Structures are given as C-alpha cells and as structure tokens.
Amino acid sequence: MIERLRPDHAAAVLVFERENRAYFAASVPDRGDAYFTGFQARFDGLLAEQHLGVCHFHVVVAGTGEVLGRVNLVDVADGSAELGFRVAQKAAGQGLATAAVRQLCTMAVRDYGLRNLRASAAADNVGSRTVLSRLGFVPTGEEVLLEGRTGHRYLLSLAGFVPSKEC
C-alpha cells in the first residue's frame, strides 16, 4: 500500500497535490503557489533529506500507480520523528489514512528503529484527530498553532505498537 518515495513518483505526486490542493487547504495549511512552481527542486530536496536519514517520505499508491496519499516521518532524531499524512479527497473516509499510518508505524519500528512518534492536528481537523486516536496517539495537552489555526500535539510510544500484517 505505501512505498518509500522515489524519483519516479514525482509526476504522480504533483498530480495528487494539484488535484487536492483546495481540499487540503480546508483542513491543513496551504502549500502556496511557490510549492507548485518550484515542485521538482523541492521534490529533489525531499529525496536528498531522505538519503541523509533525517526524513522518511512515503506515498500511498493505488494499483493503477495513482498516488492517493502521503505519509511521512520528518525530523528523525534520537529514536523519535514527527508524523504527517494526507489522503486524496476521493479516498477520504474509507479507512485509507488509518491503514497507511498503521503501516508506517510498523515501518517506523521495524525499518527505522524509532521508539516514539509525534503528530499535530488542527482542532477542527476531525479526520486527522480520528486517525491519530484510532492508532493510539494520545494528546500531550500542548496546544500548537498551525498556520494560525489552533491545534494539539499527540504522542505515540511504539514500545507497545502491534505491527501491521500488511508489511
């Protein structure tokens, strides 16, 4: 279901981001026009960060090769990382985000040696908060501002995480 980001994903990721821009902007900060005009350079930068091991980027790919989502681990250090995810509008509400994040949690333990994951979600982003809750992330009590929107921090200890069978 999820694949580690590779150079040949660039075109499909750009289509995914363009097609879902307005949908994403309703619940997470918009990437801005510069993201799209400088996409290839930014994409190459992500691959360079991934090569250094400071981030792990993944795409959720349909059988057709279409990108339906992204699940990422950034700021990897000291056994911990920040989780970020987004799913296409046409795939929302079908359990895809939950399944993809569950698979990434398995990879975080098995492949990347992580012990904890952090995440943030806007207070009004019910979908993301639901995914985090389903997978055992707990609110830390810390409020954050996400591009001017009130949000909350979450933490998941991977010590007791039950690995996904899909991996």
Domains of the chain in sequence order: 2-160 (3.40.630.30)
pLDDT in tens, the chain (167 residues): 899 999 999 999 999 999 999 998 887 777 888 899 999 999 999 999 999 999 999 999 999 999 999 999 999 999 999 999 999 999 999 999 999 999 999 999 999 999 999 999 999 889 999 999 999 999 999 999 887 889 999 999 999 776 655 54
Query: Tens digit of pLDDT for each residue in 25-50?
Result: 887 777 888 899 999 999 999 999 99
- DSSP secondary structure letter of residue 54: S
- Find the radius of gyration of the CA atoms of the chain: 15
Query: Tens digit of pLDDT for each residue in 120-129?
Result: 999 988 999 9
**What is the rounded distance in angstroms from the CA atom of residue 38 to the CA atom of residue 120?**
26
pTM of the predicted model as reported, rounded to 2 decimal places: 0.91
Dihedral sign for Cα atoms in the order 44, 148, 18, 85:
positive
